[in-house]
Amino acid sequence: MTSTTPNFETASAPPPITQPRPRLRSLGASALGNLLEWFDWTIYAVFSPFIAKALFDPADPASALLATLGIFAVGFVFRPLGGIIFGRLADLYGRRRTMITTMLLMAAGSLIIALVPSYAMIGGFASLIVLIARLLQGLAHGGESIASYAYVSEIAPPAHRGLWSSTVFFCVAVGGLLATLSGALITSNVSPEDAGDWGWRIPFLIGALLAVVTLFLRRGMMESEIYEEQVEKRAAEAADPSKPSDRLRPAKLMAVGVKLFLYEAGTTVVYYTWTSFAAVFAITHHHMNPADAFLASVFAQLIYIASIPGAGWLSDKIGRKAVTFIFFGGFAVLTFPLMSMITDQPWTLFVAQGVALVLVSFVAGSQPAVISEQVPNRYRTRMLGFFISLSVAIFGGTAPYLNSLLYSVDAGWIFNSYVILMCLIGIGVVATWRETKGMDLRDV
């Protein structure tokens, strides 16, 4: 989009550049918080069978597990609401304060789950308390994602914004992997009875305690200079309404938002299909041995984790549009071959998911920078909070369900065609964007 920011007296000269060390410390505090947020978020799914036995009616194990997973789904529903609420708050009160708040909420949710009495002690109140805790975590999770996208992009040196923003999805992937490893450690070193009684609570307690440490680190983070400039501009406008404003017309804002929504639709359909559902797809539709499938998926995800920083760095060199076109174009061409490659043999899942996740890294490594560079500073987190969160809820949350449903009736080609269509729409959207690598976010 073209620059619409007028000259303001208060911003006629750029502020002095903050020294690299405070920026790096702030990046580290943000990254560690992201990692812990995703660790706390994912351990609920990893330990869901134990939670079902401990906190739900043991008379009907199947219903208990379904209820546990239902609460997990409700947490996902609240993620976009958290993005909308905290996106607005991040624009009003700052990225740093918002990220501290989301960290507190996530830690509180983990601590509540770790300490909630069992179903045998308090009956149905146990599941009610878990529901409340997951709602808190859903709000926090949605808000953390949006605030961190904007924050990391805004504090990054313009020439390295892609590389810096890659830390967001790098930590997302590492946090999820650590949650899975915690499940392996608990089940390998604690008896099944003890794991069901108290062992499953340990990761939640660890997550809550480590969040307190991260909270102190985040209190020392610098605030985004770009956000502080916006505060000054709003104050100047309030004091003198005759001053020029950087407000945009509602129609232009909506056009930007719709493009964000469609861009995210394509990326999130692919992301959830290959990061969260690939192993389940191999198990349910190709009868792959579950242990082998999860092991193959873990190795594929390690390749993904290693690829993310490189993709962010590459976006700083060849451009945001180029790496995004590689992602969308790659899946437009390879969706049918990759899905068809998977059989009951674990190596087929490893190869297919490994190739797919390398392609995913092209968007994961640059997405926070890409979307932040499309939205004017005045509206950044509130627009990301609404349009990105809404798109994730609609398209990301339904991708595994549609995949499973259509493949179960021998209509998998419809799902694959749907993925390709969303990628083609994504290509069309990105083609309308100007190249933004290396730009000063003040020029958005």
Q: What pLDDT shows up at residue 2?
A: 37
Q: Domain boundaries in the chain?
A: 18-243, 246-444
Lowest mean pLDDT among 23-27, 109-113, 153-157, 177-181: 177-181
Q: What pLDDT shows up at residue 245?
A: 58
Average pLDDT over residues 340-364: 95
Q: Output the pTM of the full model.
A: 0.81
Lowest mean pLDDT among 123-127, 242-246, 266-270, 373-377: 242-246
Per-residue confidence at 16, pLDDT binned at 50, 70, 90? Answer: very low
Average pLDDT over residues 249-257: 86
Q: What pLDDT shows up at residue 348?
A: 96
Fold: same for 18-243 and 246-444: yes
- CATH of 18-243 given 3.30.2390.10, 3.40.50.2000, 1.20.1250.20, 1.10.10.10: 1.20.1250.20
Please tell me which residue, 331 or 375, carries the higher pLDDT value. Answer: 331
Give a three-class secondary structure readout of the chain: CCCCCCCCHHHCCCCCCCCHHHHHHHHHHHHHHHHHHHHHHHHHHHCHHHHHHHHCCCCCHHHHHHHHHHHHHHHHHHHHHHHHHHHHHHHHHCHHHHHHHHHHHHHHHHHHHHHCCCHHHHCCHHHHHHHHHHHHHHHHHHHHHHHHHHHHHHHCCHHHHHHHHHHHHHHHHHHHHHHHHHHHHHHHHCCHHHHHHHHCHHHHHHHHHHHHHHHHHHHCCCCCHHHHHHHHHHHHHHHCCCCCCCCCCHHHHHHHHHHHHHHHHHHHHHHHHHHCCHHHHHHHHHCCCHHHHHHHHHHHHHHHHHHHHHHHHHHHHHCHHHHHHHHHHHHHHHHHHHHHHCCCCHHHHHHHHHHHHHHHHHHHCCHHHHHHCCCCHHHHHHHHHHHHHHHHHHHHCCHHHHHHHHHHCCCHHHHHHHHHHHHHHHHHHHHCCCCCCCCCHHHC
Average pLDDT over residues 254-274: 92
Q: Which fold has domain 246-444?
A: Growth Hormone; Chain: A; (1.20.1250)
Per-residue confidence at 25, pLDDT binned at 50, 70, 90? Answer: confident
Please tell me which residue, 105 or 14, carries the higher pLDDT value. Answer: 105
Q: What pLDDT shows up at residue 43?
A: 82
Q: What pLDDT shows up at residue 422?
A: 96
* Residue 103 scores a pLDDT above 80: yes
Average pLDDT over residues 144-165: 92
